[in-house]
Structures are given as C-alpha cells and as structure tokens.
Structure 1
Amino acid sequence: MFGKKESKMDTAPSQEIDSLIGEKLRITGKVQGEGNIRIDGEIKGDVDCKGDITISETGVVYGNLSGVNIYISGTVNGNVNAKDKLTLFPSGILKGDIKVANLVIYDNGFFQGKCTMTKEVEKEIQEELETAE
C-alpha cells in the first residue's frame, strides 16, 4: 500500500532498435550508423549515429558519442554530442564534456565534465526573453 512505486521514467523509452551490440560483444574501433543503436556490451572507440543511442546498464563506451537522443544507464568515458536530448539515468555514469540541447539527469546519475548548451537552444531562449519583454 505504501511501497515505492516503480517509475517507468527511470529507463530509456521503448523504441525501435536498428542495431544491438550484445552484452557479450566487445568492439574496438569506430561505430557508425543511420538508425537507432542499443549498446549492452563494450565499445572502445567513437559511436556516431544519425538516430538515438541507448547505453544499457551493462553497456560501456570508451569514446565519444554523437546522436540525436542519447540515453545512458551504463558507463561512458568520453565526450557526448546530443542533437536533441541527453538523459542520464540513476545507474548512469558519464565522465566527459557534453554539448546538448536538452539535459536530464536523474537522482544518483553521475556526471563529471563540462556542459555546453547548443546554439539553437540559446537562440530560442533569447527570442523567448525578447518576446516576453
């Protein structure tokens, strides 16, 4: 009755996955793709994706990430460039600098680095402030 409710917000949204790096798979080198990718294994190298990138709790990336929406529940040691949104979940660890339009960090999510909001967002905020005056 008074127990803790499970929150569906603590995990990446269900989405179509075009590519999956399995938990037992380790890749060394750059990974590029057009669609959405989920990483359950380990990558030593950059990940450049035209879609969304999901790093599961078992996923580890030693390299830079670039994608539209990036969801981190695992570990990333590298810089992140999210064209839209970066979400760092409670089990997520991110050590590196980020460039992002929208940023969400849940309680216990760990981020060490520098955050830069992209110019598009800065421009929109400035326009909203000018309109409000």
Structure 2
Amino acid sequence: MKRTTTAVSTTSVSPDQRAVSTIIGEDTVIGGTITVENSIRIEGSIIGSVTANGTVTISQNGKITGNVVAGNMVVAGTIEGDMWVKEKVTAESTGKIFGDITTKKLTIAEDALFQGMSIMSREVEAPDLEKLTANSAQPKIENGKVQPQNSSKIPAGIEKNAVNEHAQQSQKESPKDEKGKLSKWGKE
C-alpha cells in the first residue's frame, strides 16, 4: 500500500504578499530610484528612493538608504530614510529604522530599533521623491560599500550657512563655566 502525505499551510498570505514582483538579491547593491507597481522585497541594498503601490519588505539582511513611498512596509532589516506609507508600517524585532514615518498604522516589535518621528494620519500624501532626492546629499558607492555622507537634516528652503550661523550663535549664548567650557546647568 502506497501512502501519500500532503503538507497544508495554515498561514494566511494576503494577496499583496503573493504579488511580490521584484526581489533585490542579497549580494545586490542598486543605486538610484526604483518604482514598482506591486510589491518588492529587498534582501540586498538600495541606495536611493523606492516607490511601490504594494508592500516594501526589507529582509533581515536588506538595507535601504533613501526615502520610501509604499502601500505597506515591513522592516526586518535596516532603513535610513523617511517613509510615507498609505496603510501600515511593521517593524519586526530585527528591524532598524532611522528616519521619520508617516502612516495610518504603526507596529513596532519589542526588540526593533526606531530613531525618528512618527506621524499617524488617516490620509497619507506621498511627496515627490525626485524633488526630495534632488535636495538631499546622496550617499556614494565605492567598491560596493556605502560611503558616509553628511547626514545632518536641513529643512527645505534653509541654506546650510544659516544653520551654521545659528549653531555658532547658540554656542555664544550657551552658559559657560570660568574655563570657557559649556556648563550643563548654566550657573552652578
């Protein structure tokens, strides 16, 4: 008598997760703007902006250095950039988010890392990423490695010199001790 075994998965998969149209492999580094109609899974690195109508999934070893506009977002890897997500952002326990999030729903797992600001909104308006990218310093790729850039965020319309002048003025007005060092509490 021949026995047949059939494996049945009880995990439900949303239609959006089934429609992953693009996968960036683990050993792949892409620089530039990526736009996909459905969903994308990043197992490698993207240096630039990503736009997807579906879900952007960053796998545990994946990384995005740039801004993202998406329907949904799952972060198990690393993102260094801002996100505008129409429905939901999920940061898994291995996820690292360095940037601001605008979304309807946000779930952050216990061991996930999030450094930024979150804005919860019923309607998320996606910015023009080309304009955002043109105004920001883009990281450089040399020998397959991302080279650090000046990461200070300067709001649009403010000249860098104005920021430097403000910093210098703040230092002049900061409380100092008798040796000229900044005093933590002012007069002590």
TM-score for the superposition, normalised by structure 2: 0.56
Match of 2:79 in 1: 76
Identity across aligned pairs (percent)?
Answer: 35
- Look up the match of 1:39: 42
Equivalenced residues, count: 110
Distance, in Å, in 2 between the alignment partners of 1:120 and 1:50 is 15
1:52-94 deviation digits (Å, cap 9, x = unpaired) = 1100001011001110110000000000111000000000000
Give the counterpart of 1:19 among 18, 22, 31.
22
| Cα separation, 2, equivalents of 1:112 and 1:56 | 19
Equivalent AA in structure 1 for residue 58 of structure 2: I
Larger Rg: 2
After TM superposition, give the deviation of residue 14 of structure 1 in Å. 5.2
**Which stretches of structure 1, 4 residues or more, deviate above 4 A after TM superposition?**
none
Match of 1:95 in 2: 98
Structure 2, unmatched stretches of 5+, are 1-10, 125-188
Distance of 1:111 and 1:41 partners within structure 2 = 20
Is 1:109 aligned to residue 112 of structure 2?
A: yes
> Aligned Cα RMSD in Å?
1.7
CA distance in 1, matches of 2:18, 2:105: 19
More strand by share: 1
Unpaired runs of at least 5, structure 1? 1-7, 122-133
Query: CA offset at residue 23 of structure 1?
Result: 0.3
Q: With CA pairs under 8 Å and 6+ residues apart, which has the higher RCO, 1 or 2?
A: 1
Q: TM-score, normalised by structure 1?
A: 0.78
Counting only pairs closer than 5 Å after superposition, residues 116-127 of structure 1 correspond to structure 2 as 116-120=119-123
CA–CA distance in 1 between the matches of 2:20 and 2:32?
21
Following superposition, the deviation at residue 15 of structure 1 comes to 3.1
Equivalent AA in structure 2 for residue 73 of structure 1: A
